[in-house]
Amino acid sequence: MTPFSACIVAAGRGTRAGSAVPKQFAMVAGKPLLRWSVEVFAAHPACRQIIIAIPASERGRAGTALTGLDVAFVNGGETRTRSVRACVGKADQPLVFIHDAARPGLTSATIDRLLDALETAPGSAPALPMADALARVAGRGVEPVSRDGLMRIQTPQAFHTSAIVNAFETAGGADFPDEVSLARAAGLDVTLVQGDEKAFKVTFPDDFSRAEAALSAATGLPVMGTGFDVHRLRSGEGLHLCGVFITCDMALVGHSDADVGLHALTDAVLGAAGAGDIGQHFPPSDQRWRGADSAQFLVHAMELAREAGIRPVHADITLICERPKIGPLRDAMRARVAELTGLAPARVNIKATTTEKLGFTGRGEGIAAQAAFTGVLT
């Protein structure tokens, strides 16, 4: 899956929306409008960077609206094209997705369709057919317009980064209503994929009520599971923690590779899915699991969670030990757990603590781990 940068345009004032604040910061279904699409991008495994164009005067409000999310801000321009140009200029991934903050109904399925289209095209965009009859006002009368061949273009609009950068250079200082228009002006082919009626643009006051209803229904029921595991330490040549092998003078004792971090998270996932515990699925009496890589335990638990209709949202693991030191390995552990769960690295947290030399972990006799897994039942 080719990685991409997400560029979100949130520099407008949204005066037609009738909001007391710029509409991108107005609350919808319990969150600022802008946060909805940022969270979808942040949760996608191919998204490596999120850049948001905002008014220079709104940095504080934007930071508050996106607390806890890894984003970068650029100052928006006087027009959409200038704001997008500022975002794209900071993109550092092979692909770039350009999205309107006022479309909170973005889904990972739409992102996946766009990524598939970019395998064979320089650009792609979601689109929907015209359902209503069309007419053009001509003087004092009305002139019907055929719907044949007409489509409603949505965002995100996705491109190979080098292609859209070249399109901006070709355009000079010209402005465009969207990036499909820019791309076509530069001679780029754009493939249209199936859009989503829920991804409408919040423009007028009534649209807030419509978005509130749609997003509340789509959010689903939150679910959570917790896990705890302990394994004894002995002298050895290394051990596995959170999917990463650590060379040291210790080893963990267990029927499998005794990865206490992945075992705790596996139990947390199984708990969220209502699917028992790790011992039921991988009993230590079964010789198939002797020395097994604990990654397969977590992958199996994630499959059960998905079969139960759970979309993963976040994973958190706490390692309890005096040794080894976890800090230098934290990023590698996050990356491995993200790979195994399908979560974005930003949705995985690894932390460590000691027991101040107290108890079996304080004496270096073993390592404990506790984990929490959250998801949404869709």
Task: Decide if pLDDT at 94 tops 70.
Answer: yes
The reported pLDDT for the residue numbered 16 is: 54
Residues 153 and 127 sit within 8 Å (Cβ to Cβ): yes
Residue 139: the pLDDT is 75
Report the mean per-residue pLDDT for the chain. 92
Task: Return the structure tokens found at 294.
Answer: 């604990």
Complete DSSP assignment for 292-332: --THHHHHHHHHHHHHTTEEEEEEEEEEE-SSS--GGGHHH
Instruction: Name the fold adopted by 221-377.
Output: 60s Ribosomal Protein L30; Chain: A; (3.30.1330)
Strands 27-28 and 31-32: antiparallel
Does the structure show a pLDDT above 90 at 93?
Answer: yes
3-state secondary structure of 241: strand
DSSP-assigned beta bridge partners for residue 158:
97, 124
pLDDT(142) > 90: no
User: Packing angle between helix 295-307 and helix 260-273, nearest 10 degrees?
Assistant: 10
Query: What CA–CA distances, in Å, run from 20 to 15, 208, 313, 357?
Result: 9, 13, 31, 55
> Would you list the DSSP string of 110-141?
HHHHHHHHTTT-SEEEEEEE--S-EEEEETTE
Confidence band of 4 (pLDDT split at 50, 70, 90): very high
Dump pLDDT digits (tens) for 51-78.
Answer: 999 998 999 999 999 999 999 999 999 9
What is the length of the chain? 378
> What pLDDT is stored for residue 266 in this prediction?
97
Does residue 19 carry a pLDDT above 60?
no
Pair of tokens at residue 326 = 């976890």
What's the count of helices (H) and strands (E) in the chain, helices before strands?
12, 19
In the chain, domain spans: 4-219, 221-377
Return the pLDDT at 129: 93
C-alpha–C-alpha distance, residues 215 and 208, integer Å: 10
Judged by DSSP in three states, 19 sits in: coil
CA contacts within 13 A on the Cβ side of 237: 0
pLDDT at 227: 97
**Euclidean distance between CA atoms 227 and 269, whole angstroms:** 8
CATH of 4-219, one of 3.90.550.10, 3.40.50.10490, 3.30.420.40, 3.40.190.10: 3.90.550.10
pLDDT of 202 reads 92
C-alpha distances in angstroms, 63 versus 38, 56, 71, 96, 227? 12, 12, 9, 22, 33
**Helices 330-341 and 295-307 meet at what angle, rounded to 10?**
40
Comparing 343 with 369, which gets the higher pLDDT? 369
Within a 10 A sphere around the Cβ of 210, how many other Cβ atoms?
15
Asked if the model's pLDDT at residue 18 lies above 80, the reply is no
**pLDDT (tens digit per residue) in 304-346:** 999 988 888 899 999 999 999 999 999 999 999 999 998 888 8
340-365: per-residue pLDDT in tens? 998 888 889 999 999 999 999 999 99
Q: Per-residue confidence at 284, pLDDT binned at 50, 70, 90?
A: confident
Using the structure block, give the residue that is written with the tokens 């006051």: 205
Name the percent of the chain lying above pLDDT 70.
96
In 3D space, the residue among 32, 64, 44, 5 whose CA is nearest the CA of residue 347 turns out to be 44
Q: Hunting for tokens 């990865």 — which residue is that?
A: 259
